[in-house]
Structure 1
């Protein structure tokens, strides 16, 4: 155990010194019995690299909702996003728990060694685009001022409103009678077309329980021709 902890600490320091980044997009569900280990791994990674260039987004899909338990965080838009990745990567069928790193490679979300190798590979690459984000809350909306550089012809800026953690008491389905821990839950995802302007302000609707301590804002640029993530930044 001591050897593993030491190894992880060194690994974390090496990553933070590199110029690249890793955006981990987890597709998960409270109705999937193989998902909790992946959720826990994402929480572990988020805690390890929360101040570095590794970012975690957990999307709760809705196709498990008819299997006995409706995930309170599920969203049909997130299922569509996962299907879009299947098209980008020419892989089917979709599954949970799936982790996609930088829009280019996918991994079984509970396989820690594979996911960590994917992070190491991702951060060794050069950043292709830069983002600057400034946010101001106005009532139930968040105004996000953005400036981007180095985008491709068909790029979009995605702004994710992320709840850092939550627990759910699951009463039915594959995870019946379990209390599940979730991390980096995407509560809202809004996209901005960057073909017309590289600078502007986007208005994002906030969930009712939004507060600055328990949530964060992550913006990333995606090439909509290939699915590749070009850059990412916390607001």
Structure 2
């Protein structure tokens, strides 16, 4: 009969603990690399949108300390239906049409959420959206982005550093209001007070020719670092895929 040599108990325990620590470290690294950028297309004139807005608010609150980011774009094609959305912008409607081409899904609709530029969902379907977030977090980012912002009155300078860019990479920087309420008097949501979250006030696009640079932006007159934040992300201009995302760190102005 062949004899089998047994390892001493203490050696076996040591190896087991080492394997568990290695597994945990790998899991943590994998989690930190994954990200989910949720781009919501919504409108105050759309009766189906308030549940989606509320869901994005809950998600933003739950994931505020992790790599999940929410951007809410208020489109303007509902503005002729009896109520003009105070946050609407035709540029965001244009961006939604661009996604329709990338994804091969027309016509556009609200409430729509696009995750990492790769897949769209009805933004009020909570289980579906949460599963999409988990799936996105399981995949590593293709670029690393760091942003440092300085406010000077109504202007802001953003220093950026990017690792892993390609020839089709663009940097987009969004100025975002974290929360707001609106008293809607007409349209499908007449006589309702709507809550909004992560409202994009401005979206600035930079063609990435260099890994480092600075961009200057004009800020909303009521901008402050408690009620607003700045989110930047790298997008492939040919496919629409989001390659990386981060929030800007604010530093004190030298003036």
Which of 173, 182, 186 is the equivalent residue of 1:172?
186
* Counterpart for residue 166 of structure 2: 152
* Counterpart for residue 94 of structure 2: 80
Is 1:231 aligned with 2:244?
Answer: yes
Deviates more, 1:16-25 or 1:165-174: 16-25
* 8 Å contact from structure 2 (residues 232, 245) kept in 1: yes
* 8 Å contact from structure 2 (residues 31, 137) kept in 1: no
* Counterpart for residue 209 of structure 1: 222
- CA RMSD of superposed structures (Å): 1.3
Structure 2 unaligned runs (5+)? 1-27, 249-255
SS, match of residue 97 in structure 2: helix
SS, match of residue 77 in structure 2: coil
Is 1:116 aligned with 2:130?
Answer: yes
How many residue pairs align between the two structures? Answer: 221
SS, match of residue 113 in structure 1: helix
Is 1:30 aligned with 2:44?
Answer: yes
* Counterpart for residue 102 of structure 1: 116
* Counterpart for residue 175 of structure 2: 161
CA deviations 1:66-110 (Å, max 9, x no partner) are 000000000000000000000111110000000000000000000
SS, match of residue 213 in structure 2: strand
Q: State the distance in 2 between where 1:156 and 1:111 align.
A: 30
TM-score computed with the length of structure 2 as normaliser: 0.85
Q: CA deviation at 1:140?
A: 1.1
TM-score computed with the length of structure 1 as normaliser: 0.92
SS, match of residue 204 in structure 1: strand
Structure 1 unaligned runs (5+)? 1-13
CA deviations 1:102-148 (Å, max 9, x no partner) are 00000000000000010011111111001111100122111000011
Q: State the distance in 2 between where 1:129 and 1:26 align.
A: 23
CA deviations 1:141-162 (Å, max 9, x no partner) are 1100001111121111000000
Is 1:43 aligned with 2:36?
Answer: no
Moved over 6 A (4+): none
* 8 Å contact from structure 1 (residues 159, 218) kept in 2: yes
Q: CA deviation at 1:19?
A: 2.2
CA deviations 1:46-76 (Å, max 9, x no partner) are 0000110000000000000000000000000
